[in-house]
Amino acid sequence: MYIFTEQELRQHISLNHEALSVVEDGFSSLAEKKAVMPPIMRVDVHDHNGEVDVKTAYIKGKDKFAIKVSSGFFNNYQLGLPSGSGLMMLVSATTGVPEALLLDNGYLTDVRTAAAGAIASKYMAKEDIHTVSVIGCGSQARYQVKALQLVRNFKRVIVYGRSPDRVAAYVKEMTEELGVEVQAAESAKEAVIQSDLVITTTPASEPVIKAEWLHPGLHITAMGSDAEHKQEIEADVLAKADVLVCDTVAQCERLGELHHALSQGVISETRSITEIGELTSRKVAGRQNDEQITVCDLTGTGVQDTAIALFAFQEMVNRGLGLKIENKKPALKN
Amino acid sequence: MYIFTEQELRQHISLNHEALSVVEDGFSSLAEKKAVMPPIMRVDVHDHNGEVDVKTAYIKGKDKFAIKVSSGFFNNYQLGLPSGSGLMMLVSATTGVPEALLLDNGYLTDVRTAAAGAIASKYMAKEDIHTVSVIGCGSQARYQVKALQLVRNFKRVIVYGRSPDRVAAYVKEMTEELGVEVQAAESAKEAVIQSDLVITTTPASEPVIKAEWLHPGLHITAMGSDAEHKQEIEADVLAKADVLVCDTVAQCERLGELHHALSQGVISETRSITEIGELTSRKVAGRQNDEQITVCDLTGTGVQDTAIALFAFQEMVNRGLGLKIENKKPALKN
């Protein structure tokens, strides 16, 4: 049993082209029906304003698969702790024996989530973009824009958030990090109308993005909603999209923006919706011209977790890292 | 983050009255609506004849809860490995941070499963019993009977299994271990008709126990079925039971003996079925006289896992055991 700590993982696993590529392959395995991915398991801990999710997917042909435990406890700030934490484990796909624990406290989730956003933009955004907006200013607001640099060149980032201090910190930090102009917007509207590409990264439960702000050529990736009550974009945004993509339709119907669009009846159950794996496996084209409005709804999937955990495991083992604990089950007696 | 190995856990955590008592309290929390227990998550790995289950339950008022990963890979014997393995983790119920990993390879599952069987017998079997039958001769066939000694005195054990070698090994080992007479039966029928109490511990997909063998005063605990296709006892056994108990009705309807009784229409959806937590919390009586036929259907629940993991954690920490890994998440930046 290998054990890797957050510190080691942060040091050696980066949000790079390889990470993007393994997540892309993970999505393709879904479209090619090569993945076994049960619905997310969720434990609500209302007493402490928390929830724990478990995600997993077995990708056929891979020798291990991940089971990920991720938690969000929204009173943690009172203790000076981040709301998110968790770990991934890798289980042998041939024997069922747990083989590695990646004590990443959510770092690998940040990487694979940002990778998914970049993959959406790779297939759905215009080739030439100038301005990118990001709504929210937490860690995904950072990772998503960094990941986007792997697939698109852009000149300017506009950030909108509710806390002026956190927005100012974002502008300062990301101007350096990205090497492009980063500006604060006074409103979400101001950000969206100036942008070729918008990424929403909030835990909002009321829409932040209005359909009336849409304009030709815009791409939106909404990655914040992963629960029934969350919603970042008006349902009409989905109705007006020329191309609508979900990570998985089944999951977005329950937990994503799609959920609200269906329940409000603004799009019909029979409307054609593409899954991101159909883009990565080249079964379906994404954007077809520079005028289309495209929207991608991401809720986070087990295949991303298995893909990034396998990648991280291999990178760490190749470097001879990790703590090895002998915990071999004694050989069969009966 | 504490890490405990199988070896340490086997050395210090026993199937004793305390273990029984914490599992009993776990069941009571279900009946008292103090537990949040989502449905089991299952990943099927058909390529390797395997499956991985994830179980969990948050019990209100407890400072941690368990998430358990347990696997069954049924080709493992070809590699000289047992089919089952897995681990439990404990997550803080106040912050969501993973706090301990119990690398038990299924040992604690064996303990809590046997505890559940003993609890069923405590409330449902006659006070005075002489002969106990066990069907199957794997590890649960051993643990169940050992656990039963905590709640009932009995003079004789009859074991029935398909492999003469494994039956012989069972008889030899358990005669010593239990300090009572242990005999092999030629057939399941021979075993059942002579017994006051029967425990079925097989992965059978065809019933092993027939309704025509039932006799007044008999108690049966069926603990083998935990998947749709598994069935150890004829559906009519449930129909003929004077008292029918499930660990949880919802889970037994999907995965237990109850599933087959309902789908074959031999018992109706409106029949009164007691949950084991109603017995332990004294909301409902179990057996009312020595003539009743009683049946308990166990599929295995997350509250048992949380109960046994919390118990084991406390025992280990009290003894100053376990490996401690520093993996504190850095304090909140944004």
What DSSP line would sit under A166-217, residue for residue?
HHHHHHHHHHHHHSSEEEE-SSHHHHHHT-SEEEE----SS--B-GGG--TT
Query: Which two three-digit tokens encode residue B51?
Result: 């499956």
A163 to chain B: closest CA residue? B334
Q: What angle do CA A322, A177, A166 make, to 5 degrees?
A: 100
Q: Whose CA is closest to A327, among B266, B86, B235, B64?
A: B86
Q: Which residues pair with A134 in a beta bridge?
A: A159, A199
- CB spacing of A47 vs B103 below 8 angstroms: no
Find the distance separating the first CA and the last CA of chain A, reported in whole Å: 24
Distance CA B234, CA B207 (A): 5
Q: How far is B266 from chain A (nearest CA, A)?
A: 31
Q: What angle do CA A292, A295, A300 make, to 5 degrees?
A: 155
Write the CA distances from A147 to A140, A308, B80, integer angstroms. Answer: 10, 14, 45
* pLDDT beneath 70, residues of chain A: 328-334
A165 to chain B: closest CA residue? B334
Write the CA distances from A217 to A196, A278, A293, A297, integer angstroms. Answer: 7, 21, 5, 17
- CB spacing of B5 vs A94 below 8 angstroms: no
Q: What is the pLDDT at residue A334?
A: 38
Q: Is A68 a catalytic residue?
A: yes
- CB spacing of B54 vs A52 below 8 angstroms: no
- CB spacing of B79 vs A95 below 8 angstroms: yes
Q: Which residues of B touch A169 (CB under 8 A)?
A: 334
Q: How far is B305 from chain A (nearest CA, A)?
A: 14
Q: What is the pLDDT at residue A227?
A: 86
- CB spacing of A5 vs B137 below 8 angstroms: no
Percent of chain B past pLDDT 90, that is, above it, reads 92
pLDDT in tens, chain B (334 residues): 999 999 999 999 999 999 999 999 999 999 999 999 999 999 999 999 999 999 999 999 999 999 999 999 989 989 999 888 999 999 999 999 999 999 999 999 999 999 999 999 999 999 999 999 999 999 999 999 999 999 999 999 999 999 999 999 999 999 999 999 999 999 999 999 999 999 999 989 999 999 999 999 999 999 998 888 999 999 999 999 999 999 999 999 999 999 999 999 999 888 889 999 999 999 999 999 999 999 999 999 999 999 999 999 999 999 999 999 887 655 444 3
Q: Whose CA is closest to A134, among A107, A173, A104?
A: A173
DSSP B209: B
How many other C-beta atoms are found inside a 10 Å radius of the C-beta of residue B328? Answer: 13
Q: What is the pLDDT at residue A301?
A: 97
Compare CB distances from B98 to A58, A69, A98 and report the shortest one's residue: A69
Burial pattern B238-262, b for ≥16 Cβ within 10 A else e, equals: bbebebbbbbbbebbbbbbbbbbbb
H or E element: which one contains B280? helix B276-280
Q: Whose CA is closest to B71, among A56, A95, A60, A57?
A: A95
B74 to chain A: closest CA residue? A95
Amino acid found at B262:
L
Q: Whose CA is closest to B58, among A84, A39, A43?
A: A43
Q: What angle do CA B7, B11, B16 make, to 5 degrees?
A: 130
- CB spacing of A73 vs B87 below 8 angstroms: no
**Active centre residues of B (catalytic):** 68
Q: What is the pLDDT at residue A225?
A: 87
- Rounded to 5 degrees, what are φ and ψ at B72? -130, 115
- CB spacing of A332 vs B6 below 8 angstroms: no
The residue from A68, A122, A126, A230 that is catalytic is A68
Q: Which residues of A touch B81 (CB under 8 A)?
A: 95, 97, 329, 331-332
Question: What is the separation of C-alpha A134 from the centre of its chain, rounded to a whole number of angstroms?
Answer: 14
Q: How far is A86 from chain B (nearest CA, A)?
A: 6
B48 to chain A: closest CA residue? A94
Query: How big, in percent rounded to 5, are the helix, strand and coil portions of chain B?
Result: 35, 25, 40
Q: How far is A146 from chain B (nearest CA, A)?
A: 17
List the domains of chain A with CATH numbers: 2-108+303-324 (3.30.1780.10), 126-299 (3.40.50.720)
